[in-house]
Structure 1
């Protein structure tokens, strides 16, 4: 069976992976925003969707770059070449097919970032199955909810998570088959033994090539309610890939027989950005991904230096760490050519500080997307515009809508960002109500983010609609105040929320982590008073805390700060 499907993945790479790329910082003519009625369009024409699905595309790359390292654990040093990745993934896919798991069935992965995650993910895709990554910090109750909602037939877990996973599926009417990465406490099947057994047959990858429905079942982070299943289809992936690999936005150096790009694999692989942009896209072009299972300051810094990381994927807290932590010296950043920051608006002040700290030029690229949309905006490589999440990717349409009137807004006016493309989900899994609230009948997805755009087509994320602070009729962005606070040398981190006020309705309150132990509330109130309009002043006060609540991608959990405010008041 395997030999009959070799033709699928031994073809040369698609043209959109073989084209030359701009060098970051290359000068080009000014960008222009295209319009079609009320719709804002990408400056690039809609690309032709790729012909192959996710699994076979990675397999093509693995075949071509078999001698290169695909993955390396930054903690243990475990290395997996592309040849080994290909072999192990095909065996895992074959084992699933022999167990009766394949097209249309769900395989859940509850694993920390590691080379084994990549093998399990790719092998599951090669079997034809749908993959549903899970947060490895889940409690048994959360495990039960996602498994029950997704209908997973198989659950793969790291050995340290076996007891949590087992407790989570214990009371399910039809529990999934549990596979353990390593030794099992209860003699469950060993994932490692399966992929290392040369008697395990390879998968028939024609099942993966013919896949047409849901490819990956992601679950939203739950920052605005309980996590919801977001089914990403093969059609959506095939449409989005050539847009993200466009030579004017994709930043990796081309792989050659002697060289390959090296990227940091710290972004959690159960998150859409981590598994799609950092892991899968890196593997599709023959890059090396250095995985880290968690953030440990010393290990993170050492990994950048040891592996000469060229592309550094960041979220705002990591950016702040690189800039402000005394352990990080300019020498540690010598290899970094490009920093990509996403997941939440980042501070322009902090971004410029990183560029100033690095001893060599660093192009700062920002991006925007959601689990429900995949990437929709990237900073083009010819025009760094710090503070903007970039321009629309090819094939993406946008509108910025007035939340009150429901009408499209002109440039430089903040409103809710709506997205339309072939890459968005068509609806939430088992959740018609959430689908109807989020996606219009004519296919526009309401992001819930407040954004604006300029005449060149660059977009700026202002904040979440539900998190704007309404002060005497004025709308105040917490992100704007947080950015201003971070420019005070005594502030390490800051989170701002609105608190009730009898006269103003709401007023801003700041929760601050000190860098300078002598910092006072009066220092910060005075600092902002000279920089911002009166309705943006911290009339709700300043509270000092040891750390800010954040989700795994670094977003400040403002609802937890709101709860803290409610308790303290």
Structure 2
């Protein structure tokens, strides 16, 4: 039988995002509470200011660009406290927001603009050149490429979004509501695209409303808009990218709905991260495993007082028991784990606060309104404790992939389950475990080797800063074998003897088929996506080049 949630089923309002956030009758905090705060410029938005700016931006879209229901606005920018108002202004006008990675090249951005059918682009001045070039390539008029943020410059003759607000005009403009929140899209987010082109994930208004309520059910009574030692309520530190669904839902939407102050960083910087926690008394942070790794090992951490943090929540990639224990031992900061995907809006599971130390390594229990099951390769449901692919069904599951019916048909079953592509199992108490991606599993002579498990052990080695494990095909053994790429800590050399020492150390901790038969290679850094996922495909290319080089040397 598919598993169901133990959390309470809080009612999911059958409304669009604007009504959910700005027309509610149960807001537990005042309109003048500061929700978004920029610690660098000290600029901020209260709830009332976000609402007012969003309405006027939405009016401006209608007045200037004849904005219609279903039009797409692309957002090509790092985190900025203007993002929420622009996002919901787009929704007020009936539009769909499509956030893009600011690290995209012109070609990558042009692909998303074309695929999403974007009608306009909002960016920041440092990114204006790429944004304009990509817009030209897909036929978006340059007067529809505008900027947000604090920097203004006449060099590019580009409008600031506030100029659109100032030309909003009369009160004749009315909000365009989503006629069907279950079907009407709110966001087009693009998957990280580890293979081929990124896929446009179609998320409806109901998807995001449902997931915000699901997160609220899990964090009920824990994250508060008022009270606590400072009386200001909980403060969250936001460095996770808002163009990624993790940051978009858990940070941007949750903070406004619950009334939490969000301290917005444009990108992660370790010293600033620690300084803001210390100086602004941050109480909660959503993080990713690479940050947890830094907290466990980086020497700079010791200079700061991080004691205001009550909890961290890690997601986006597997987090190992060794890392959680290392951070708690060093800093006395608990780290719970959650799980989700772009296609599930994103959060499907999280560890309860009170159980974070009882089920370390688990992604927690399932959030409400969902059912889930683990399935075998031949699509038979696996019993408790048996490993399979996780399938999930619920109101947070996406509508499908844009312009990709084949991909949608492959991902969604006829009865509404989403095939996550993640491998794991469930224990008898309803805790879920994710061991790896289906495609990442290394097949050694019929045995399955999860890279994430080996990586978790490797980073607990005192002389290892970071690690990634991949499988590559070994012709002599006629099978895939695991190889580790390791970032060494200061003091560890890069000799064959050092590599053998690490491989032997790991061998003593794992079963026979999980040994690093492909050896250990030293690198300066592990390639990762913005959400912290290891880009193993880049390491596979590296491994192939190494093997080809070795083969030539033998000739």
Alignment pair present for 1:378 and 2:364? no
The count of residues paired between Structure 1 and Structure 2 equals: 528
Q: Which has the higher contact order (CA 8 A, sep 6+)?
A: 1
Deviation string for 1:506-535 (max 9, x for gaps)? 111000001143251122022112111121
Residue in 1 that maps onto 2:553: none
1:55 to 18, 31, 42: 18
Flag the 1:206–1:63 CA change in 2: closer, same or farther, 3 A.
farther
Residue in 1 that maps onto 2:134: 168
Alignment pair present for 1:133 and 2:102? no
Residue in 2 that maps onto 1:487: 460
Contact kept? 2:443, 2:479, Cα under 8 Å: yes
Residue in 2 that maps onto 1:529: 507
Separation (CA, whole Å) in 1 of partners of 2:250 and 2:4: 23
Residue in 2 that maps onto 1:264: 237
Contact kept? 2:457, 2:506, Cα under 8 Å: yes
Flag the 1:82–1:200 CA change in 2: closer, same or farther, 3 A.
farther
Secondary structure in 2 aligned to 1:300?
Answer: helix
Farther-moved stretch of structure 1 (507-516 vs 70-79): 70-79
Flag the 1:175–1:461 CA change in 2: closer, same or farther, 3 A.
farther
Farther-moved stretch of structure 1 (93-102 vs 278-287): 93-102
Residue in 2 that maps onto 1:559: 537
Farther-moved stretch of structure 1 (310-319 vs 216-225): 216-225
Contact kept? 1:50, 1:242, Cα under 8 Å: no
2:521 to 543, 547, 551: 543
Secondary structure in 2 aligned to 1:246?
Answer: helix
Unpaired segments ≥5 residues, structure 1: 1-37
2:122 to 153, 156, 163: 156
Residue in 2 that maps onto 1:179: 146
Contact kept? 1:493, 1:513, Cα under 8 Å: yes
Shift of 1:249: 5.7
Shift of 1:225: 3.4
Shift of 1:551: 0.3
Residue in 1 that maps onto 2:362: 388
Farther-moved stretch of structure 1 (71-80 vs 112-121): 71-80
Residue in 2 that maps onto 1:19: none
Separation (CA, whole Å) in 1 of partners of 2:407 and 2:460: 38
Deviation string for 1:340-395 (max 9, x for gaps)? 00000112111122222225xx4432111111112111112332222111111111
Shift of 1:205: 6.2
Flag the 1:486–1:147 CA change in 2: closer, same or farther, 3 A.
same
Shift of 1:290: 0.9
Residue in 2 that maps onto 1:410: 383
Separation (CA, whole Å) in 2 of partners of 1:267 and 1:78: 19
Q: How does 1:274-293 map to 2 (within 5 A)?
A: 274-293=247-266
Separation (CA, whole Å) in 2 of partners of 1:310 and 1:233: 31
2:434 to 461, 483, 492: 461
Unpaired segments ≥5 residues, structure 2: 548-555
Secondary structure in 1 aligned to 2:37?
Answer: strand
Secondary structure in 2 aligned to 1:65?
Answer: coil
Alignment pair present for 1:472 and 2:445? yes
Flag the 1:316–1:250 CA change in 2: closer, same or farther, 3 A.
farther
Alignment pair present for 1:92 and 2:57? yes
Contact kept? 1:497, 1:562, Cα under 8 Å: yes
Contact kept? 2:423, 2:437, Cα under 8 Å: yes
Secondary structure in 2 aligned to 1:559?
Answer: helix
Secondary structure in 2 aligned to 1:354?
Answer: helix
Separation (CA, whole Å) in 2 of partners of 1:81 and 1:47: 26
Farther-moved stretch of structure 1 (239-248 vs 213-222): 239-248
Flag the 1:255–1:205 CA change in 2: closer, same or farther, 3 A.
farther
Shift of 1:540: 0.3
1:568 to 537, 546, 555: 546
Flag the 1:517–1:551 CA change in 2: closer, same or farther, 3 A.
same
Flag the 1:203–1:56 CA change in 2: closer, same or farther, 3 A.
farther
Separation (CA, whole Å) in 2 of partners of 1:233 and 1:71: 24
2:279 to 306, 318, 321: 306
Residue in 1 that maps onto 2:373: 399
Alignment pair present for 1:66 and 2:31? yes
Separation (CA, whole Å) in 1 of partners of 2:264 and 2:512: 46
Secondary structure in 2 aligned to 1:382?
Answer: helix
Shift of 1:254: 3.6
Contact kept? 2:120, 2:140, Cα under 8 Å: no
Secondary structure in 2 aligned to 1:115?
Answer: coil
2:338 to 341, 345, 367: 367
Separation (CA, whole Å) in 2 of partners of 1:328 and 1:208: 48
Flag the 1:279–1:224 CA change in 2: closer, same or farther, 3 A.
same
Residue in 1 that maps onto 2:197: 226
Deviation string for 1:263-292 (max 9, x for gaps)? 011000000010111111111111111111
Secondary structure in 1 aligned to 2:317?
Answer: coil
Residue in 2 that maps onto 1:10: none
Contact kept? 2:185, 2:202, Cα under 8 Å: yes
Separation (CA, whole Å) in 1 of partners of 2:264 and 2:369: 31
Flag the 1:399–1:79 CA change in 2: closer, same or farther, 3 A.
same
Shift of 1:483: 0.8
Contact kept? 1:268, 1:274, Cα under 8 Å: yes
Contact kept? 1:90, 1:202, Cα under 8 Å: no
Farther-moved stretch of structure 1 (513-522 vs 275-284): 513-522
Shift of 1:52: 3.3
Alignment pair present for 1:245 and 2:211? no
Q: How does 1:327-342 map to 2 (within 5 A)?
A: 327-329=300-302, 331-342=304-315
Contact kept? 2:324, 2:334, Cα under 8 Å: no
Contact kept? 1:107, 1:154, Cα under 8 Å: yes
